[in-house]
Structure 1
Amino acid sequence: MHTLPDTPTPSTCAVGDITVHRIDETPLPPATGPWLLPGATPEVVAGQDWLRPHFAGDDGILHIDSHSFAFAVDGLRVLVDTGNGKERANPAWHNLRTDFPERLTAAGFPPGSVDLVVLTHLHADHVGWNTRKVNDEWVPTFPEARYLTARAEREFWAAYDMEEARRQMFRDSVIPVEQAGLLDLVDVPAEGVHITPSLSLVPAPGHVAVELNSQGDTALITGDCIHHPVQLAHSAIGACVGIDPQQSETTRGERLASLAGTDTLLLGTHFAPPTAGRVVAHGDAYRLRPAPTT
């Protein structure tokens, strides 16, 4: 296990009376951007001045992070996605062995205190700390929590002909949670579903996003519906890991249109700091206007 260099200052933002903590795992290697979002070429990125300096460098290379979000809402202590932390085929995720659990504890959410883990989808970089190894067995990291994910997501992968690397990810990070009886599958209709009065799941391409509402304020945690702010300017830019690019583009465009010009705070699961912002019109598309964090 190692402490990451250039660790960002712990970040929080307010959504009404909810304090949302960003729990950092790691900034991803520069090669991640061209692999993950091949349509975001340096030329495309350079055409969006507002991406610099936070979300891209002067060289046109995207800044991409991996982090989770934790907050207390309606009497529950909630973690959205659990990062990585295991041996993986993708070098960006491989053997990170970060101090993620310690960072979570430092933010006031020790693993044993978490009541609910929301998994926006079942990709390696969103489920890795679901479990930890004890006596050569993978056991739930959050033993007092219910783990939630969309029923459609789990059933999709159950019927999918997975490659070995993905099978291994399910063996070490998903199936042990199921075997412990802690995984709940939720039906998420088009209009979304309330988990608590202030916490909802809303459909996103292939998975779910998380909506918070408190005292008239709203926020949306993207999951992988939007990987990077460059997609606000070019919604057709899709991720290489997407299975239905056309559906992803359509849903992403509809989501951005519904957010544009509103006070809803957008919290990107892979957005580099400052991470939080509001969607505003920019030419014939959109941009992210960063919001203050503490």
Structure 2
Amino acid sequence: MPTWTVGDITVHRIDEIPLPPPTGSWLLPEATPDVVTRVDWLRPDFADPEGVLRLDSQSFALETGGLRVLVDTGIGNGKPRAGSAWNDLRTDYLDRLTAAGFAPDTVDLVVLTHLHTDHVGWNTRGQDGAWVPTFPHARYLVSRAEREYWAGCAMDEPRRQMFRDSVDPVEDAGLLTQVDVPAEGVDIAPGLRLLPTPGHTPGHVAVQLADAGESALITGDCVHHPVQLAHPAIGSCVDVDPALAESTRRRLLDSLADTGTLVLGTHFAPPTAGRVTRQGEAFRLEPVSPVTAFRN
């Protein structure tokens, strides 16, 4: 269970699954093997020698201001999904979360960076033939711009299914809270701040942590993979607004570069965390190993 410290805040990585090797070429089509192999610092952690990107599905759990917080909830178990790699999963995610000290009924706050399938799946779990909130005592936070966008969006059937099983039950239970996120961000708990990072989706947010003079940022999907530091113009095939996603990414990386801020990538393969440095006109991720990594 890898962890990092930000001041007195301990951040736990809660693994769900490694994403299949073809995910990278589908998600970031401009990150071709030729492009990837030219970025030598991506190997061995973030890409293999043939230029295949490594990506994972994971969440981050932490405690701050007396609140037990989970950032994003992965793909989930038993969910009907169009993609075979995500369909009807059977993982031990909840066991890992509990082993890290965050049993579902002890979580106070779930922060959703955006409402995509691989970030909301464990919002709910199956019980007696229905989907019920996994974290019954938690507030689930999403930006108002994000929820309103999807409320007015014409969805295809797979996305409607995702809302039916992973968003609507939380909303129907009165647990979903919409938050206005201004340009400067908004504090939601001591040491915990939401920053607007639109483009991948209209209301996407990144999560900033700060304590005792140290800081960290959980990316969500404003950066999917470290190759986007070397090539910030590389975008995702599912970006709602590709131009805005790129400008958001460039602005964010510029603000992080050489500051010592710990960056935790929601889809970054191990070691998952690093610090952004400038490299010519672009950037580089200097990996930071967990302070502890153990298995029961």
Fold match, TM over 0.5?
yes
* Structure-1 residue corresponding to 2:207: 210
Taking the aligned partners of 1:107 and 1:118, their CA distance within structure 2 comes to 18
TM-score (norm 1): 0.96
* Structure-1 residue corresponding to 2:56: 65
1:261 aligns with one of 254, 258, 261: 258
TM-score (norm 2): 0.95
Q: Give the 4+ runs in structure 1 shifted more than 2 A.
A: none
* Structure-2 residue corresponding to 1:220: 217
Any stretches of 5+ residues in structure 1 without a counterpart?
A: 1-9
Matched, 1:56 2:47: yes
Instruction: State the 1:91 CA deviation.
Output: 2.5
Matched, 1:288 2:280: no
Counterpart mapping for 1:268-283 below 5 A: 268-283=265-280
* Structure-1 residue corresponding to 2:167: 174
Taking the aligned partners of 2:83 and 2:137, their CA distance within structure 1 comes to 30
Q: Provide, for residues 125-176 of structure 1, a one-character-per-residue CA deviation record: whole Å limited to 9, x for no partner.
A: 0000100111111100000100000000000000000000000000000000
Taking the aligned partners of 1:262 and 1:79, their CA distance within structure 2 comes to 25
* Structure-2 residue corresponding to 1:130: 123
1:183 aligns with one of 176, 181, 193: 176
**CA RMSD after TM alignment:** 0.7
One-letter code of the match for 2:101?
G
Taking the aligned partners of 1:268 and 1:154, their CA distance within structure 2 comes to 23
Counterpart mapping for 1:37-48 below 5 A: 37-48=28-39
Taking the aligned partners of 1:108 and 1:194, their CA distance within structure 2 comes to 24
* Structure-1 residue corresponding to 2:19: 28
* Structure-1 residue corresponding to 2:99: 106
Matched, 1:162 2:159: no
Q: Which moved more, 1:181-190 or 1:282-291?
A: 282-291
Taking the aligned partners of 1:157 and 1:292, their CA distance within structure 2 comes to 37
Any stretches of 5+ residues in structure 2 without a counterpart?
A: none
Identical aligned residues as a percent = 67
Q: CA contact under 8 A between 1:32 and 1:92: conserved in structure 2?
A: no
